């Protein structure tokens, strides 16, 4: 079983993921953009049972009804996204992994909210909103 570690920029908050992610996607939604300050955000989806905080405690932010995002209160790195309607799943920012190159995205979601100057990767699947 693969074990992935990651955390925020300043290392105050660290986490571990046991096992492989179930999805890898780039999200172009406005909410991710505002929460991260980036044009788009890459996410890995993992079973919540496989995700563990190993050092420090992140701050939480309700970015939409039923959505909780976490981030480091010291350096600001966005770390996770969880939805009340999917209690068994958590999304982790791919770029906060120690080795993010291991999990290339397979699709781009919420392309309807994409910035006009952001180019889509033609080799990936594209979804207007989220889901398959």
Sites of contact with Zn ion (CB under 5 A): 8, 10, 12, 27, 29, 32, 72, 74-75
Alpha-carbon distances, residue 53 vs 15, 45, 112, 126 (angstroms):
4, 16, 33, 31
Distance CA 87, CA 5 (A): 22
Q: Which is nearer to Zn ion, 39 or 75 (CB)?
A: 75
Q: Please state the closest distance from residue 1 (CB atom) to Zn ion, in A.
A: 27
Q: Which is nearer to Zn ion, 75 or 125 (CB)?
A: 75
Q: Please state the closest distance from residue 12 (CB atom) to Zn ion, in A.
A: 4
Q: What is the CA radius of gyration of the chain?
A: 14
Q: Which is nearer to Zn ion, 10 or 120 (CB)?
A: 10
């Amino acid at each position: 079983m693969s074990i992935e570690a990651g955390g925020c920029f300043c290392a105050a908050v660290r986490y571990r993921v046991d096992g492989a992610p179930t999805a890898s996607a780039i999200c172009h939604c406005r909410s991710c953009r505002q929460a991260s300050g980036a044009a788009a955000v890459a996410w890995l989806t993992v079973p919540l049972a496989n995700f563990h905080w190993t050092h420090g405690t992140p701050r939480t932010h309700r970015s939409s009804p039923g959505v909780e995002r976490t981030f480091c209160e010291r350096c600001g790195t966005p770390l996770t996204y969880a939805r009340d309607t999917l209690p068994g799943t958590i999304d982790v920012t791919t770029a906060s992994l120690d080795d993010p190159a291991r999990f290339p995205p397979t699709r781009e979601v919420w392309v309807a909210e994409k910035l006009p100057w952001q180019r889509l990767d033609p080799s990936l699947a594209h979804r207007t909103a989220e889901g398959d």
